[in-house]
Amino acid sequence: MNKLFQPFSLKSLNIKNRIVMAPMTRSFSPNGVPGDNVAAYYQRRAQGEVGLILSEGTVINRPASSNDPNIPRFHGDSSLNGWQKVINSVHAAGGSMGPQIWHQGVMDNHHSGWLPLTPFEGPSGINRPGNTNGLAMSDKNIADTIAAFGDAAADAKRLGFDTVEIHGAHTYLIDQFFNADTNLRTDKYGGKTLAERTRFAVEVIKEVRSRVGEDFAIIIRLSQWKGYDYSYKMAKTPEEMESWLTPLADAGVDIFHASQRRFWEPEFEGSDLNFAGWAKKLTGKASITVGSVGLSGEFMAAFRGESSDPASLDELLRRFDRGDFDLVAVGRPLLADADWVKKIKEDRTSELKGFAKEALAELL
C-alpha cells in the first residue's frame, strides 16, 4: 500500500501520491459557470489528500460542444473566473489539478430537452450505427475545434492548473473520429485503419502542445469500450493498439489514461495486462488505470441505480507493484467520500462507505 503513497513527478506535475480523482460530470454549474460550491467540492478532495484531481469534463468553445447547460464550460470570462477559484482553492489545500477538456461531438439529446443553438457536430453526424443526430464537420469546423482545444489548454496553464486532460474516450468527439462506426469520412480525417483515424486527435494534441509548451504535462483519456457497446474493441490486437497510441505519443501525450469499467480485465488474450498496462508497455509513456478500484460493482450500472460495496485493493496493488501503470484513478468512491484516500492511507477500512446513487444528487 505504501507504494501508492509515493510522490510522482512528470514535467509540470508534482503530486504527493499515486491516486487520481477520475473526471466525473456533476452538472452543478448553471449556465456553464462553476461556482463556490464546485470550488469547495474539489477543495475537499485536496484536503482529503487526493494526489491529482481531474475535473469533470468541461467543454471547449464550440457552439454545440455540450448537451447540458449545467455542465461547466472552459471558455468565457465568467466560467474561467469560476475555474480560477477552483484551482486556487485546490492549491490552497495542497492539491494538484487538471481540467478535463471536452467536446461531446454528436450527442443524444439531454433528458431535460435542452438543446444548443446549433446542431451537434461530429465526424459524420452519427454517434452510433444508424443514429444521426448532428452534422458532419466541415474542414473549417474541424480547424476551429482544434483551435478551441488549444485555447482551453492554454487557459488551463494560464490559470495555474498543473496539467490538462484531453477527453478522447467514451464515444465523444475525439473517440467518434477514432471509431470506424462513427467516422465514415473519406477525406484525410477518415480512413480504413485505426491509425489513419488518429489524424484529428493528433492535430488536437499538437495544437495543445504548441500552446502549453514542452514542460506542461498532457494527459489523454481513451477507451476501447463505447457507450452503445461495452465489449467494443477498436484495437483488436497489441499491434493495432500500437498503431493507435504511437501517433498520439509522438504528437505530445505524456500520460495515457486508459478507461476501463473494471481495471482487472485483460485487454487481449494471452496476457493479463490491462489497457493501462498495454499503453505503458507499447509507448513507454506513463499511464493511469481506472475502473471499479475499491468497489464491487462498475459505474454504468451505478447510473441505473446499482450500489457497490467496498472491495479489496490486493489485485490493484499486485499490478501496480509489477509496474503496469503509474497512477490509479478512482471515481465513485471519491464522489461519495472526500476522505477516501485518507481512509485508505490510514487503513481505516471499516469507515469506507462504498457507493450508492444518492451520492449523485449533491456535491458532498
Residues known to be catalytic: 172
- Which of 270, 313, 318, 272 is CA-nearest to residue 293? 313
In degrees rounded to 5, what are phi and psi of residue 256?
Answer: -95, 125
Does 73 bind ligand FMN (CB under 6 A)? Our answer is: no
Contacting ligand FMN within 182-221 (CB under 6 A): 221
- Which of 322, 257, 326 is CA-nearest to residue 291? 257
Adjacent-strand bridge partners of 240: none
Does 99 bind ligand FMN (CB under 6 A)? Our answer is: no
Does 57 bind ligand FMN (CB under 6 A)? Our answer is: yes
Does 170 bind ligand FMN (CB under 6 A)? Our answer is: yes
Of the candidate residues 194, 290, 338, 344, the single one contacting ligand FMN (CB under 6 A): 290
- CB of 96 or CB of 185, closer to ligand FMN: 96
SS3 76: coil
| Binding residue count for ligand FMN, defined by CB under 6 A | 24
Contacting ligand FMN within 307-346 (CB under 6 A): 330-332
- CB of 47 or CB of 259, closer to ligand FMN: 259
Distance CA 113, CA 355 (A): 29
Q: Cβ(254)–Cβ(270) under 8 Å?
A: no
CB 192, min distance to ligand FMN, A: 28
Of the candidate residues 101, 153, 235, 293, the single one contacting ligand FMN (CB under 6 A): 293
Residue the block writes with cell 496476457? 271
Of the candidate residues 299, 320, 325, 340, the single one contacting ligand FMN (CB under 6 A): 299
Distance CA 320, CA 263 (A): 11
Distance CA 73, CA 99 (A): 10
- CB of 23 or CB of 122, closer to ligand FMN: 23
Of the candidate residues 100, 163, 171, 182, the single one contacting ligand FMN (CB under 6 A): 100
Listed ranges 8-16, 33-41, 241-249, 285-293: which one lies at the site for ligand FMN (CB under 6 A): 285-293
SS3 290: strand
Distance CA 317, CA 294 (A): 11
Q: In one letter, which amino acid is 2?
A: N
Does 50 bind ligand FMN (CB under 6 A)? Our answer is: no
Listed ranges 2-10, 149-157, 295-303, 310-318: which one lies at the site for ligand FMN (CB under 6 A): 295-303
Q: In one letter, which amino acid is 347?
A: D
Distance CA 331, CA 44 (A): 15
Distance CA 167, CA 134 (A): 20
CB 308, min distance to ligand FMN, A: 8
Instruction: Kindly list the residues in this chain that would bind ligand FMN in the complex (CB under 6 A).
Output: 22-25, 56-57, 100, 167, 169-170, 221, 259, 290-293, 295, 298-299, 302, 330-332, 360
